[in-house]
Structure 1
Amino acid sequence: MRKQHVITISGAGSARVPALVGTLVNYKERFPLSKIIFYDIDEERMGFMEAYNRLVLRSYYPECEVVFTTDEDEAYRNVDFIFCQMRVGKTAMRSLDEKIPLRYGLVGQETCGPGGFAYGMRSLGAMKEMVEKVRSYSKDTWILNYTNPAAIVALGLDRLFPDDKRILNLCDQPFSLLKSYSKILGVPQESLRARYFGLNHFGWFTELKDTEGNDYFDTLRSYLKDHDFKPFNAEQRSKSWLDTYVRVNKYMKLMDEYIPTTYMQYYMFPDEIVAESDPDYTRADESRDSREREVFELCAGAAGKDHMDGLEMLTNSVFGNLMVEVAESIAYDLNREFIVMVKNQGIIDNFEPEAIVEVAGTIGKDGAKGYPFGPIKPYYKGLMEGQYAYELLTVEAFLEKDYTKALMALTLNRTVVDPSKAKAVLDDLMEANKDYWTLR
């Protein structure tokens, strides 16, 4: 049997945690655990799901010790892995991130544009404190960070902790796209190997083959030009989420050389997206009223029960699988292939060496290693340089509390461009976030 591990789920009040627990159960032979610590600063929210999470683990993983705590010392002491998925400010602040930009005719999205800027500033402060606390106990604990916006958080953590090689920033979007591609092509996802480059939520697939060397890229590219793109679990997704996939089809009709991540829509078609947005009811509201409510209702059904009869065991084939498979690949030095976020340092040889790029690579006991990509063409280089400058100025604005750098960052962002709008939205976001970050 493989060595057992102790993990902490930081941000255990997330509605995604019950599905992560189900994934941990499904992977218990591959990634066995002796103890799971659930940690969140919001005891009430974590408590909504505690009875369900305990029941699932008692029913299917009785050998695993379970702890729920709001004490960060208990959460971060003597653990092997931390699965971190903070949402600083919770749904209330996400709602403002989405609604405030829409006042000015700007994209209202939680990771892209002004909303992503505000969220990034909040996340950086919380992540800095968390890493410092974890490292006060151990330099060996792996921090698998799922906190968004991953591009800003990853770059900020690299600046704050440049010598820390056990912080790994993760994003499930490329993983999810590969799962959708596998369904379209009728090919098992585990057999697919991609070539990919970009920044997080800002990248392109350039090749897709299987382990036997069969090339599927042109087939997929043709399909996406001529058919509406749908995720593998389209029947479970809301219309607003499905719309993000359809615009891949629109992009491909204009430029079909590479296949973009779905998040590119916010940078390519911002005016169209704003026109379709409801400034009073955004994705934060939609998520609260659908997925989150459904999870909480299911979890409420576990109260007082000592068996799972009549209760579904939730699992997540994207978020959960990625998190656990990454931990497994580190723990047992499997060097499995993933789309990884790493410091460039020549991977893309005509791009900024200090940038955190997203490319195909491997993960093992020494962390993530990106495959060399070579040079990128002027169009993609130009887009990425502008986006990287936005990310870098955002991080510097946080570290230096510099208003001017924040204004420059937002002006550079393709979803904004107009410096007058950048100033107006920045001032509103700063007021809304005054309990989390300030600028001078």
Structure 2
Amino acid sequence: MRWSELVVAELAEAGVQVRLTILGGGGFRVPLVYSALLSDRGEGRITSVRLYDTDRTRLAAIGSVLRQQASGIADAPVVTETTDLDEALRGADFVFSAIRVGGLEGRTIDERVALDLGVLGQETVGAGGIAYGLRTLPVALEIATRIAALAPDAWVINFTNPAGMVTEAMIPALGDRVIGICDSPSGLGRRAALALGLDASKAFYDYAGLNHLGWLRGLHAGGVDRLPELLADPAALGAFEEGRLFGADWLRTLGSIPNEYLHYYYFARETLAAVRSVETTRGKFLLEQQSAFYAETAGQPENALALWQRTRAEREATYMVESREIADAGERDERDMAAGGYEQVALSLMRAIAHNERASLILNVRNRGTLRHLDDDAVVEVPCTVDANGARPLTVSQLTDHQAGLVSAVKAVERSTIEAAVTGSRSSALRAFAWHPLIDSVTTAGRLLDGYVAQLPTLAPFRS
């Protein structure tokens, strides 16, 4: 038995408290994580949750939601709040990072600057994702340094977007103790399996790429790859969101099922036209919606949970609405919105590490030779085996030339963005914009960078 496994076993036998710190604890989706923790009744579960945020109003609102979620539940994890980062980190066993630097106000700027220049501005894809990364990475790096100093044995679960880029930037300080998560790949795999009537929990998903840029290339059940069967069945493809989003003909042409975010690449013109045709961008919608929620909750803290549930239902129903309208995919059905999102990925990851319960999860980790087109240190999104010693990538089929080309191009963008954030180099930031496949002009890249610098004070170092 390895040292880390011995520690886990001793902690479980002694009934030691297990503490989770959530960075960005005032974030709207934090109650989803807490709900998953409430469902975990096993020994050695998370016993206390410390919420950290720089916004006291948001922190108080989410704290109220969590306490109402825990009402009547014996031994619910104790919730505390703090605006002191060092206090939040000390003694943490797990750190869940879900910060949003610049808030939703920053997201609306990410979107609008890009759209005004005729470019998609989605928050994790293309110009918007680069701008988001440039202002987020310096903060994420500071946090990684504090974790290494104050909680060196903690496992860091990164959901801060752009998740793959942020995870790769934190690795020099935290090593393999930082793992990136996203619910899109597991959600895709689950929906594809259910479309064939399979037990989604027993299937193996041959999935690979980068965060928000991957493909399901195999769906193995009972030793047989069932993906060809799914691709040949228009009715089955039409039964779940990605099938309707991309269309049966294109999926058969690809021979795989893309992550939903690849709709921005495969239907870039149509998506841009759809987004520009509406008065309110996704970021502005969420800003207005969540501002109303926090304001209402401040005045009615006793109704915090009900207000959150109402707001969340509206948020989920309108997710990626422009892409669904282009594909005539209709409204999201209950199966598309079923539970099992990123909070379940986070819970499964924590349980696998804390209890040495081997699990297979699609995660953002170092490549380590998994995809031959990328070096060992590149963070990729692939199936992993997880236990008390962390996450190790599993063998997957290699990317096609098309997939490898797109992945390599976007990885170069990620690394230029990280370099720019670390060094303050305008040239590195300009390269990131100019190299992205959704930005087709060096001139436009420069205008994008200048536009973001003009509206986002934290990007002042990149001023020309």
TM-score, normalised relative to structure 1 = 0.87
Shift of 1:282: 0.9
- Find the aligned partners of 1:125 and 1:392 in 2 and give their Cα distance: 14
Tell me whether 1:431 sits opposite 2:427 in the alignment. Answer: no
Tell me whether 1:194 sits opposite 2:205 in the alignment. Answer: yes
Deviations 1:116-135 (A, max 9, x none): 00111122111111111122
Alignment of 1:343-354 (within 5 A): 343-354=366-377
Say which is worse superposed, 376-385 or 81-90, in terms of deviation. 376-385
Aligned with residue 179 of structure 2, among 168, 175, 187:
168
1:170 alignment partner AA: I
Deviations 1:267-291 (A, max 9, x none): 2222211111136411112334557
Aligned with residue 276 of structure 1, among 266, 274, 293:
274
Tell me whether 1:328 sits opposite 2:351 in the alignment. Answer: yes
User: Is the contact between residue 225 and residue 253 of structure 1 (CA under 8 Å) also seen in structure 2?
Assistant: no
Say which is worse superposed, 176-185 or 403-412, in terms of deviation. 176-185
Shift of 1:293: 5.3
Any idea what SS the aligned residue of 1:255 has? helix
Shift of 1:401: 1.1
Say which is worse superposed, 32-41 or 89-98, in terms of deviation. 32-41
When residues 82 and 421 of structure 1 are mapped into structure 2, their CA distance, relative to the original with a 3 A threshold, is same
Deviations 1:235-280 (A, max 9, x none): xxxxxxxxx8744227725733121111112122222111111364
- Find the aligned partners of 1:25 and 1:170 in 2 and give their Cα distance: 20
Match of 1:86 in 2: 99
Alignment of 1:362-377 (within 5 A): 362-373=385-396, 375-377=398-400
- Find the aligned partners of 2:159 and 2:306 in 1 and give their Cα distance: 32
Match of 1:143 in 2: 156
Match of 2:22 in 1: 9
Any idea what SS the aligned residue of 2:49 has? strand
Alignment of 1:409-424 (within 5 A): 409-424=432-447
Alignment of 1:77-226 (within 5 A): 77-158=90-171, 160-161=172-173, 164-210=175-221, 212-223=222-233
- Find the aligned partners of 1:252 and 1:290 in 2 and give their Cα distance: 35
User: Is the contact between residue 329 and residue 365 of structure 1 (CA under 8 Å) also seen in structure 2?
Assistant: yes
User: Is the contact between residue 229 and residue 248 of structure 1 (CA under 8 Å) also seen in structure 2?
Assistant: no
Aligned with residue 249 of structure 1, among 241, 247, 250:
247
Deviations 1:369-418 (A, max 9, x none): 11133643322222222111111111111112111121121111111021
TM-score, normalised relative to structure 2 = 0.83
Shift of 1:61: 4.2
Say which is worse superposed, 194-203 or 61-70, in terms of deviation. 61-70
Q: Which has the higher helix share?
A: 2
Tell me whether 1:287 sits opposite 2:300 in the alignment. Answer: no
- Find the aligned partners of 2:405 and 2:159 in 1 and give their Cα distance: 27
- Find the aligned partners of 2:395 and 2:442 in 1 and give their Cα distance: 37
Match of 2:262 in 1: 264
Aligned with residue 420 of structure 2, among 368, 376, 397:
397
2:66 alignment partner AA: N
When residues 260 and 333 of structure 1 are mapped into structure 2, their CA distance, relative to the original with a 3 A threshold, is same
- Find the aligned partners of 2:347 and 2:236 in 1 and give their Cα distance: 35
- Find the aligned partners of 2:163 and 2:460 in 1 and give their Cα distance: 18
Unaligned runs of 5+ in 1: 232-243
Match of 1:361 in 2: 384
Match of 1:73 in 2: 86
2:205 alignment partner AA: A
When residues 268 and 250 of structure 1 are mapped into structure 2, their CA distance, relative to the original with a 3 A threshold, is farther
2:281 alignment partner AA: T
Any idea what SS the aligned residue of 2:176 has? coil
User: Is the contact between residue 23 and residue 316 of structure 1 (CA under 8 Å) also seen in structure 2?
Assistant: no
Say which is worse superposed, 173-182 or 37-46, in terms of deviation. 173-182
User: Is the contact between residue 297 and residue 307 of structure 2 (CA under 8 Å) also seen in structure 1?
Assistant: no
Unaligned runs of 5+ in 2: 1-11, 313-337
When residues 217 and 297 of structure 1 are mapped into structure 2, their CA distance, relative to the original with a 3 A threshold, is farther
Any idea what SS the aligned residue of 1:59 has? coil
- Find the aligned partners of 1:392 and 1:312 in 2 and give their Cα distance: 38
When residues 34 and 127 of structure 1 are mapped into structure 2, their CA distance, relative to the original with a 3 A threshold, is same
Tell me whether 1:406 sits opposite 2:429 in the alignment. Answer: yes
User: Is the contact between residue 231 and residue 248 of structure 2 (CA under 8 Å) also seen in structure 1?
Assistant: no
Deviations 1:206-235 (A, max 9, x none): 11022x32432123223469854644xxxx
When residues 301 and 205 of structure 1 are mapped into structure 2, their CA distance, relative to the original with a 3 A threshold, is same
Any idea what SS the aligned residue of 2:461 has? coil
When residues 378 and 80 of structure 1 are mapped into structure 2, their CA distance, relative to the original with a 3 A threshold, is same
- Find the aligned partners of 1:310 and 1:424 in 2 and give their Cα distance: 41
When residues 271 and 312 of structure 1 are mapped into structure 2, their CA distance, relative to the original with a 3 A threshold, is closer
Aligned with residue 54 of structure 1, among 32, 45, 67:
67
When residues 165 and 115 of structure 1 are mapped into structure 2, their CA distance, relative to the original with a 3 A threshold, is same
Deviations 1:11-36 (A, max 9, x none): 11111112221111011326622211
1:282 alignment partner AA: T
- Find the aligned partners of 2:32 and 2:81 in 1 and give their Cα distance: 17
User: Is the contact between residue 334 and residue 364 of structure 1 (CA under 8 Å) also seen in structure 2?
Assistant: yes
Any idea what SS the aligned residue of 1:7 has? strand
